[in-house]
Chain A
Amino acid sequence: MVSADPTLLLAIALMALTTYVPRFLPLLVLSRRALHPLAERWLSYVPAAVLAALLGPALFLPEGQVRFSLADNPHFWAAIPCFVVALTTRNMFYTVLVGMGSISLLRLIF
């Protein structure tokens, strides 16, 4: 049964392409010439901005609506110990473990 589903393989190929192009294109174009300092400063804000943009809806709108109660939105409350651990240890592994543990605990209690 080592035969793969052709539609899924096509989906994977398309995903590989649409993932690779944005990763490679800027490197191809920008690596041999210097960026304008203003552009460089703009880019320095990108990582924090992107990650925060991904997190916002995940923490505040896990079911599509803004909720803050412990029972309806453990996603928001579990983020607090995550931020504390991330700030104090700067360690991804501990942060992910604490996040998974916190949300499991909140779901168990509420």
Chain B
Amino acid sequence: MARGLPIVFGYFPIGFAFGILAVNAGIGILETTLMSIFVFAGSAQLIAVGLIGSQAGLAAIAITTFLVNLRHLLMSAALAPYLGHLSRLQQGLFSFQLTDETFAVHSMDFKAEAAPPKARFFATNALAHLAWILSSFTGAWAGSLLTDLKAWGFDYALPAMFIALLVMHIGEWRRAVIALLSMTLSTVLYSAIEGHGYIIITTLVAATIGVTLGKNKEDARRSPANPGE
């Protein structure tokens, strides 16, 4: 449970911000909460709110969500070697709750111990999901009262969370170099190409360049920093 707590605190302002933004975009409290239950993808949900608010069609919403979530393909593949002992049903449940944040915690956890107890990582996932649902519900409920998001800085919850996650993933110079490269490339591509393709292209290019930087055996053994401790 303890490993999920930092996620709970991290999710709260983001889920709350999502709820407020959703209601202000004309989405009801019920639909906002349902989205958090069935989708459970912070950045995709926040982006979808923007699209729904600007009257985008269903196809645009579906395609954008897919593109934004394609990064989880890579995260799921990264965790796959550690989850072979789960049943298909357990794998199905695990993937349903695989987010950037749970991935960050699990990848450090799995590096530290090859096989942490199942109950622990499922508890982390469930706690994170519950925090996400409750915080978006609370945000949606407060949404009618709070309309000036900028004054409270809620619009900055998402980038701040990405900064915290990024820092947890760059414990080694090669990763820091790749992160800088990736940030620069995505900024250039963002203006150059339409839609969210810049995320995928940048990631593929940056990770491939990372591989050419050479082996980092000690990196795999790197003592993981536990967020929040």
Contact = CB atoms under 8 A, between A and B. Distances in A.
Which among B70, B95, B178 has the greatest number of chain A C-beta atoms within 10 A? B95
A78 B169 CA distance: 20
Contacts of A11: 48, 52, 58, 61-62
A24 B227 contact: no
A20 interface: yes
Contacts of A13: 38
A93 to B, nearest CB: 3
Contacts of B91: 24, 27-28, 31
Interface string A5-19: 101111111111111
A52 B206 contact: yes
Contacts of B160: 78, 82, 95-96, 98-100
Interface string B146-176: 0000111111111111111111111000111
Contacts, number: 320
B163 A86 contact: yes
A8 B23 CA distance: 13
A61 B190 contact: yes
Interface in A4-53: 4-5, 7-32, 34-35, 38, 40-53
A12 B44 CA distance: 11
B76 interface: yes
B75 to A, nearest CB: 7
B182 A53 contact: yes
Contacts of A48: 166, 169-170, 175-176, 178-179, 182
A12 B226 CA distance: 34
A25 B34 contact: no
Nearest to A105: B153
B interface: dominant SS: helix
Interface of A: 2, 4-5, 7-32, 34-35, 38, 40-61, 64, 66, 75, 78-79, 82-83, 86-87, 90-93, 95-104, 107
20 contacts: A16-B38, A19-B39, A20-B95, A24-B95, A43-B77, A47-B78, A48-B169, A49-B202, A49-B206, A50-B199, A51-B169, A52-B180, A52-B182, A53-B185, A53-B206, A95-B10, A95-B160, A99-B153, A99-B156, A99-B159
Interface of B: 6-7, 9-10, 12-14, 27-28, 30-31, 34-35, 38-41, 43-45, 48, 52, 58, 61-63, 65-66, 69-81, 83-84, 86, 88, 91-92, 94-96, 98, 100-101, 103-104, 107, 150-170, 174-176, 178-187, 190-191, 198-199, 202-203, 206-208, 210-211, 215-216, 219-220, 225-229
Ordered nearest first, which 6 A-B pairs have the shortest CB separation?
A: A99-B160, A92-B10, A93-B9, A100-B153, A45-B210, A30-B80
